[in-house]
Amino acid sequence: MTQYIIRRLVHSVLIVWGCATLVFFLIRAIPGDPVIQMLGPEYTPEAADALRERLGLDESVFTQYFRWMGNLLQGDLGSSITGAETVNSAILSGLPKTMSIALMAFLIATAIAIPTGVLAALKRNSFADFVVSFVAFLGVSMPSFWFGIILILIFAVQLGWLPSLGYASIAEEGFVEWIKHLILPSLAIGAGYAAILMRFVRAGLLEAMSSDYIRTARSKGMTEKRVVIAHGLRNSLIPVVTIAGIQVALLLSGTVVIETVFSIRGIGRLLVGAIFDQDYPMVQGAILVVAVIFVFANLFVDILYTLLDPRIKYG
């Protein structure tokens, strides 16, 4: 197991490096010149050359790449070419907001998906099963930004229960305000995620409950509750954990739109703005952080398999 984790860590580093390299060259293939955009009406060829030299954009692409990689090994992601802040400070400011939304959305999704999936499986082809499946279909069909706007209209505008915009820092405004600002954006993302996850819980539990070991457990006189939870649900969670790991990427990508709807300056909104401004260092840094989160989330899922099913061994 230890050897497997070490190999996966090496592979993960190579994947992140490949992703960073690909983004570095692709972002420079986008038509347009950030220097011209930065100068605006004050553009002159002389001013453009001077600014390009100051930013290091007059050097060859490969020289820029090796300089960036050297700084990256020292933990320096560079500075924004369109603003005064460093990439490190911008990411450190935006990452807690994005991760708070993603984590809350994940908790909401699992809190909805697991009990409803179990209910639908145990009440197969009943009215409850049809209702849960229909609601899941609606959850998958609704765009997160549209659902977010509906939530704002209902809970912020009409009822006034929750704030509609912005993010509250837990250190500055307290835990209650932090939660209140997270509920609507997290629910907007988590609803669709819960619908997908619920379908996998239902399908996995149905398959598990028809297995021989379930019949053996029942024949030993175990209560139905223990059979379902200790044997059926645990064994049905492996495909659920797989899709949960894959859906981490969807949660992070979903925050791009939701952060715009709720005016939260997280990694997603930072990345979109940097792409429009052709802020090369900011785009590279933001995508690098997302790639690291995604790669190591999948590594965590692989390790979690062995806890759910001891029969799984990694060589």
Q: Is 222 exposed, middle or buried (0-12, 13-18, 19+ CB in 10 A)?
A: middle
- Percent of the chain exceeding pLDDT 90 equals 0
Whole-number Å distance between alpha carbons of 144 and 189: 6
Strand-pair partners of 79: 86
Residue with the two structure tokens 């999948």: 298
pLDDT, tens digit, for every residue of 116-163? Answer: 888 887 787 788 878 888 887 777 777 888 888 888 899 888 888 888
Topology classification of domain 87-308: MetI-like fold (1.10.3720)
Q: Which residues of 71-84 are buried (b: 16+ CB within 10 A; e: fewer)?
A: ebeeeebbbbbbee
Residue with the two structure tokens 């704030």: 163
* pLDDT band with cut points at 50, 70 and 90 for residue 38: low
Sequential DSSP letters for 149-216: HHHIIIIIIIS--S--S----HHHH-HHHHHHHHHHHHHHHHHHHHHHHHHHHHHHHHHHHTSHHHHH
Strand-pair partners of 179: none
- Tokens for 264? 């939260």
- Tokens for 235? 């064994």
| Residue ranges per structural domain of the chain | 87-308
pLDDT of residue 230: 65
**C-alpha distances in angstroms, 214 versus 202, 219, 225, 234?**
16, 9, 12, 12
Q: Is 102 exposed, middle or buried (0-12, 13-18, 19+ CB in 10 A)?
A: buried
Q: What is the mean pLDDT of residues 176-182?
A: 87
pLDDT at residue 189 tops 80:
yes
Q: What is the mean pLDDT of residues 183-212?
A: 81
Q: Which residues contact 291 (CB under 8 A, 6 or more apart)?
A: 15, 16, 19, 20
Q: Which residues contact 129 (CB under 8 A, 6 or more apart)?
A: 119, 120, 123
Tally of residues, the chain: 315
Whole-number Å distance between alpha carbons of 122 and 129: 9
pLDDT of residue 314: 56
Residue with the two structure tokens 């965590």: 300
pLDDT of residue 219: 76
pLDDT, tens digit, for every residue of 258-294? Answer: 888 888 888 888 888 888 777 778 888 888 888 888 8
The pTM for the full model equals: 0.77
Strand-pair partners of 86: 79
